Amino acid sequence: MTDPEEMTHPEKSEAHLCAGGRAASAPLLGHDSEPTLFELSEPGRRAWQLRTTKVPEAPLEQLLPEVHRRGAPPALAEVSERDLVGHFTRLSHRQFSVDLGAYPLGSCTMKYNPKVCDEVASLPGLADVHPAAPASCSQGWMALLVELEEALCAITGMAGATLQPAAGAAGELTGLLLMRAWHEAQGQPRRKVVIPDSAHGTNPASVTLGGYETVTVKSNARGCIDLEALRSVLNTEVAGIMLTNPNTLGLFEEDIVAIAEAVHEVGGLLYYDGANLNAILGVVRPGDMGFDIVHLNLHKTFATPHGGGGPGAGPVTVSRHLASFLPGPRPRRVDPGVDGVGARYEWTTPQRSIGRVHSWHGNALVLARALTYILVHGDDGLREVAERAVLNANWLRKRLSGTFDAPYDRPCMHECVLSAVSLKRRSGVRALDVAKCLLEEGFHAPTVYFPLTVEEALMIEPTETESLQTLEAFASACDRIVARAGTPEGAAEATEAPRTTPVRRVDEARAARSLVPTYDTRR
């Protein structure tokens, strides 16, 4: 709808017709060319208006008591619908996402999300059901949740599951609360949890939040847990160990059976951080390794939307002796029907449940996406996901071993960890600089400086979704960056990168210490 004010102000109409209200000669996607909505604002403009609201015509004081009325209008931007849509569309074009290109973020699987999963999650029969609908009115949803629980238990080799945790960190805390409840039920409360020195950063935080003390165990020369160091800290005060396999170096814990035996021998439990499950789907199950508790990042392994604030999903599966402690209520099939027809479901709460860990029953539409992903792939397809992810990571490891240092020169799993330490010594160009330069090459940067056990670490996880051509393009970009860094001019450019992206390099320390979270219209 055309704003009448624009019809009477030709100069505003001309500006309005230009991208974002700028002069016609202004670049569309320059570094600093996109104004804020407040800068686009013009008094009296609006994005839309209703012909009638059907609100009775009466003095304002009769419709709304004075105590609820503002003294002045809110300071909102006044823009046309055209400017509003154009503004946010241009901003979206300045972003990088898994739909635009490779996102090799190690230790945090970021892969393309199949759109069929989104189609299923948008079905009215799923999207339009209120979470408070009784079981009798939501049998389809309950069937879906039960089927997903059973699928996740089959994939992990566990006996029971909860779908409530909203993300990986929530799954970690749930697992630790289950660990605590189980030990207390045995009459043996404990106070320590062991984690390796290469653990995910959320692990020690979750241990603390769960009320435990962290005991760190060092890695050996092969990048795995030092078994003797582990045995030296195990005693009856240890509630369990948190680790993932493959570990955060992308290496398989070869002594996992011995680790499980050692922890179980002192009465502890094994907790599996499922962030790296993408590497072993359909090949080996955590339950077969001896784990008692497994959290799963559905928003990583099973390709549901990830990043940007979520939503996420971090279900937890457990072995049989822990099933009675799971959060409730849980969906349960009370009547299997005949060949699945006429099956009936209801909500039940386990006998010794730790209670709710999330409102309602989890981020349900993410759960629907995950089950779709599992059903589309099937058993063989999930195994192929893992095999291709491992193949891609090892291809990159070999391809880039002459470009960067390889601190662990052995086959990796889903991700490879390289190092820019030699590059730094030769030219002063660090892993951070390489990551920033990759942004100019059209790739999202890999994880840098993690794990902390590797100096100038570059952790690269290509996932199974990237083609060989994309992997070669990424490797070639790394080659060019390192080659340019061999000259004084190139090294200087690398330390200033990125220079061609919408936002150039920021002072990250200052940004964290002097955060300005709002736009000040007085400036």
Is 80 exceeded by the pLDDT of residue 410? yes
Is 60 exceeded by the pLDDT of residue 32? no
183 and 38 within one domain? no
Is 90 exceeded by the pLDDT of residue 509? no
Is 50 exceeded by the pLDDT of residue 374? yes
Is 50 exceeded by the pLDDT of residue 358? yes
Separation CA 503–CA 499 (nearest Å): 8
372 and 389 within one domain? no
Q: Is the peptide bond prior to 329 cis by the omega test (within 30 degrees of 0)?
A: yes
Longest dimension (CA), the chain: 83
User: How many domains in the chain?
Assistant: 3
- 177 falls within a domain: yes
Position 233 scores a pLDDT of 97
Residues 112-141 have pLDDT tens digits of 888 999 899 999 999 999 989 999 999 999
Separation CA 484–CA 456 (nearest Å): 18
461 and 322 within one domain? no
For 291-348, give the secondary structure using H, E and C: CCEEEECCCCCCCCCCCCCCCCCCCEEECHHHHHHCCCCEEEEEECCECCECCEEEEE
Is 70 exceeded by the pLDDT of residue 18? no
- Which of 19-33, 80-94, 204-218 is modeled with the greatest confidence? 204-218
Q: Which one of 58, 93, 128 terminates a domain?
A: 93
User: Under a CB-based contact definition with an 8 Å cutoff, are residues 330 and 352 in contact?
Assistant: no
Least confident range of 142-156, 168-182, 184-198, 334-348: 334-348
Position 447 scores a pLDDT of 94
- 128 falls within a domain: no
Tell which wins on pLDDT, 9 or 336.
Answer: 336
Is 50 exceeded by the pLDDT of residue 69? yes
Q: Which one of 36, 65, 93 terminates a domain?
A: 93
Domain CATH number, residue 447: 3.90.1150.10
88 and 58 within one domain? yes
Domain CATH number, residue 298: 3.40.640.10
- 125 falls within a domain: no
238 and 287 within one domain? yes
Is 60 exceeded by the pLDDT of residue 11? no
- 100 falls within a domain: no
Is 70 exceeded by the pLDDT of residue 307? no
Tell which wins on pLDDT, 505 or 318.
Answer: 318
Least confident range of 339-343, 364-368, 471-475: 339-343
Is 60 exceeded by the pLDDT of residue 325? yes
64 and 46 within one domain? yes
Residues 484-500 have pLDDT tens digits of 999 999 999 999 999 98
314 and 218 within one domain? yes
Separation CA 505–CA 179 (nearest Å): 44
The whole-model pTM stands at 0.85
Residues 269-300 have pLDDT tens digits of 999 999 999 999 999 999 999 999 999 998 88
408 and 360 within one domain? no
Q: Which one of 93, 110, 129 terminates a domain?
A: 93
372 and 388 within one domain? no
- 518 falls within a domain: no
- 364 falls within a domain: yes
Least confident range of 65-79, 166-180, 422-436, 446-460: 65-79
Least confident range of 38-47, 135-144, 302-311: 302-311
- 443 falls within a domain: yes
Position 155 scores a pLDDT of 98
Position 338 scores a pLDDT of 87
Tell which wins on pLDDT, 61 or 131.
Answer: 131
- 260 falls within a domain: yes
Position 262 scores a pLDDT of 98
174 and 294 within one domain? yes
Per-residue pLDDT averaged across 471-480, rounded?
A: 97
Least confident range of 11-20, 234-243, 326-335, 506-515: 11-20
Tokens of 8: 């009477």
Q: How confident is residue 4, by pLDDT bands cut at 50, 70 and 90?
A: very low
Tell which wins on pLDDT, 315 or 100.
Answer: 315
Position 43 scores a pLDDT of 92
372 and 422 within one domain? no
Domain that holds residue 390: 384-513
Position 17 scores a pLDDT of 34
228 and 182 within one domain? yes
Separation CA 245–CA 154 (nearest Å): 18
When the pLDDT of each residue in the chain is averaged and rounded to a whole number, the result is: 89
Residues 432-452 have pLDDT tens digits of 999 999 999 999 999 999 998
List all residues 6 or more positions away from 416 whose beta carbon is below 8 Å from its beta carbon. 106, 250, 393, 394, 396, 397, 400, 406, 459, 460
Share of the chain above pLDDT 90, in %: 70
Separation CA 241–CA 214 (nearest Å): 10
